[in-house]
């Protein structure tokens, strides 16, 4: 009996510890039953065939808040496509910001990116973003042509104007604050998402404000092949977005003045 236990102990001690992922991919997926299956199919093909990423340990986290559809069921059925994939269920819907934050704070990768479930940004950009992080950027953010990326000209004009106001009042140099394709090194991920307070529409700009308040380096990469995708889960009207924008900007400005975003808050 003693010999058996000793042999088992020796085998366990020689087993190599699980290698930490180099990259975590986070996909917020609320009410995405119409496309999350094809999205995960495409991501699995990319990760298994790309010459760079097929050799890498990649963690995939799909964050799906409670919804009256089959999103969570579809994700569960697709997990076997990946070497390392988890479904995270943060509970009742609270906003995209909460879901991205939940994924970021549960990530194990040395670098983490969140991307939208519609794959509006082609997956080939992952290589460029990853290399930028490896070269020393704390954050790497995608930027689009704000006037042309939307199918509706009025919404495109509004988005462009809103981003300009945000940048003017916040001092941010990032041309496009809302693109759903942002990558973080570990320091930036932990700092920005541990201090995030806006869980809805304006979380992107708050993440950038936190980064700027702590002198993190932000690199922008132009996404010229961004594609407008159908079946958007973004249903707010222009007036509602305006109200949210003004409210969130005031909230962020107040937090910056009070030093809420600093590593060591002001007293």
Give tens-digit pLDDT for 70-85.
999 999 999 999 999 9
Looking at the predicted structure, is the pLDDT value of residue 95 above 80? Answer: yes
Looking at the predicted structure, is the pLDDT value of residue 201 above 80? Answer: no
* Higher-scoring residue by pLDDT: 109, 17: 109
**pLDDT of 131:** 97
**pLDDT of 159:** 54
DSSP 118: T
**pLDDT of 15:** 39
What the chain holds in terms of domains, given with CATH numbers, is 20-258 (3.90.550.10)
Q: How many CB atoms lie within 10 A of CB 115?
A: 25
**pLDDT of 147:** 55
Residue 167 to residues 142, 173, 253, Cα–Cα distance (Å): 15, 6, 12
**pLDDT of 231:** 61
Q: What is the pLDDT of residues 4-49, one digit of tens each?
A: 434 333 333 343 456 899 999 999 999 999 999 999 999 999 999 9
* Higher-scoring residue by pLDDT: 236, 114: 114
């Amino acid at each position: 009996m003693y010999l058996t236990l000793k042999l088992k102990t020796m085998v366990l001690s020689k087993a190599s510890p699980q290698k930490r992922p180099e990259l975590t991919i986070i996909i917020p997926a609320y009410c995405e039953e119409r496309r999350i299956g094809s999205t995960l199919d495409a991501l699995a093909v990319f990760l298994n065939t790309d010459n760079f990423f097929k050799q890498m340990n990649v963690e995939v986290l799909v964050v799906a808040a409670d919804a009256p559809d089959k999103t969570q069921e579809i994700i569960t059925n697709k997990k076997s496509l990946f070497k390392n994939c988890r479904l995270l269920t943060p509970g009742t819907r609270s906003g995209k910001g909460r879901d991205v934050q939940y994924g970021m704070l549960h990530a194990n990768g040395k670098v983490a990116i969140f991307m939208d479930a519609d794959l509006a940004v082609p997956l080939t950009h992952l290589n460029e973003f990853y290399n930028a992080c490896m070269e020393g950027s704390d954050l790497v953010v995608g930027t689009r042509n704000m006037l042309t990326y939307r199918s509706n000209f009025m919404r495109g004009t509004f988005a462009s104007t809103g981003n300009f106001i945000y940048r003017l009042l916040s001092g941010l140099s990032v041309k496009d604050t809302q693109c759903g394709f942002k990558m973080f090194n570990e320091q930036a991920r932990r700092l920005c998402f541990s201090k995030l307070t806006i869980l809805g529409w304006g979380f992107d700009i708050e993440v950038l404000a936190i980064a700027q308040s702590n002198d993190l380096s932000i690199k922008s990469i132009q996404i010229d092949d961004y594609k407008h995708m159908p079946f958007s889960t973004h249903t707010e009207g222009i007036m509602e977005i305006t109200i949210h924008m003004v409210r969130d900007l005031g909230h962020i400005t107040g937090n910056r003045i009070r030093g809420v975003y600093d590593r060591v808050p002001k007293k």
